[in-house]
Amino acid sequence: MADLGVLPEHLAPLSATVDGVGELLVGGLAVSELAGRFGTPLFIYDEGHLRSRMREAVSGFGRGQVIYASKAFPTIAMARIVDEERLWWDAASLGEMKAGLLGGVRPSRMVLHGNNKSMEELRSAVEVGVGRVVVDSFDEIDRLERLAGDAIYVWLRVTPGIEAHTHAYVRTGQQDSKFGFNLANGDAQRAITRMKTSSRFVLSGLHCHIGSQVFALDSFRDAVAIMVELVEENDVEELCIGGGFGVGYLRDELVPSLGDWTHWLRETFDAHGIDPERTFVEPGRAIAAAAAVTVYTVGVIKTIPGVRTYVAVDGGMSDNPRPVLYGSGYEAYVPSRLFAAHDTTVALVGKHCESGDVLVREACLPSDLRVGELVMTPVTGAYGWAMGSNYNKLPRPAVVGVHQGQARLMVRRETVDDLFRLELGL
């Protein structure tokens, strides 16, 4: 086990090491060196970690198919890795489809999701030959039937009525959901019947997704039991159980590995007698989250005696909106001094004009932290860059991939000029 100082191993990228003076290295490169070369804020991705997690999922799931849920980190560079590791690519928009195609993913190994797909998105999916379109509503069935061409291979998304134990905003399998066809009120069965009797569709399978950041195995067990029965009753071949496996963001938050999740699912499917080659799973966060750290530069340290100390950095809710959206917890560390005691509680905040722009409400950092030092938040590889914005006209950070002592830009840093590319009247 590597000695990472105060940084718990389960929060670190797999290649993380710490040198003799307490400097964090990822992919064989010092975080401070990368920050100096590429600036801050900076997302640093361990490419070996991404590949390892993909292989872990594939190995655990056996002969089933693993689909990377691209919304977690939907870049061209990531699509290339997905293609090389022989995963499928899950897109929920024309842009995510394009990222997969530009990264070399074959259309036949792509899945198109979305609760309100436009005609343009559906037409593009049909024209390029996307492998599966996940149908989400009766309106979408109408739209697909208006498109010319051969029969479309589809999955039907079902909301099975399971209240997954996670944040309300990321539950998707309960009856009251904007996603899919309700099972309890008969909509799912009506949609299945309609699609099986239409010449425009090949209903190759059913799909469900109960939520994101789910820790309870029982939630998945119940979903599998319900969906297997529905598959058998309607004589369809394929079943995708979605994703949503939880990951640890905090030092005391230990969760099953991705390999454990997929192996357990494999055994659950086997117990129901489902052909393993006809089963699918969609991990996204669990592949990407711990692969990356975000590095910031401290700009202001403001102590209010008897109240709180605020440490403000050069990013914030524009590069990691999860704390604002969901109250998500993170840890923070000084990557050049991981052997130093991180024993002073501060509020790590961003630079946006919002009181809620808080990255870590109770961050533990060294008492002698200085302006100009680097601070990092780990486990930011999923839904950080992907959900980022230009709020306050802030350019979005660069993304760099590291592996075996080499660094490459996955996404260049935006410039202020980039912010005005679409504006008229200049």
In 284-343, where do the E strands start and end? 292-304, 308-313
CA dist., res. 389 & res. 94, Å (int): 19
Q: Which DSSP letter does residue 92 get? A: S
- Spot the catalytic one: 208, 240, 353, 364: 353
Which residues have a Cβ under 8 Å from the Cβ of 188 and sit 6 or more positions away?
156, 158, 159, 180, 181, 182, 230
Rounded CA-CA distance 208/281 in Å is: 10
Q: Is 218 exposed, middle or buried (0-12, 13-18, 19+ CB in 10 A)?
A: exposed
Retrieve residue 157's tokens. 């998304």
Residue 189: its H or E element: helix 187-196
Q: How would you class 17 by CB atoms within 10 Å of its CB: exposed for 0-12, middle for 13-18, buried for 19 or more?
A: middle
42-46 and 65-69: which strand pairing? Answer: unpaired
How far, in Å, are 215, 329, 335, 390 from residue 181 at the CA level? 24, 33, 47, 35
Query: Residue 208 catalytic?
Result: no
Just list the catalytic residues. Answer: 353
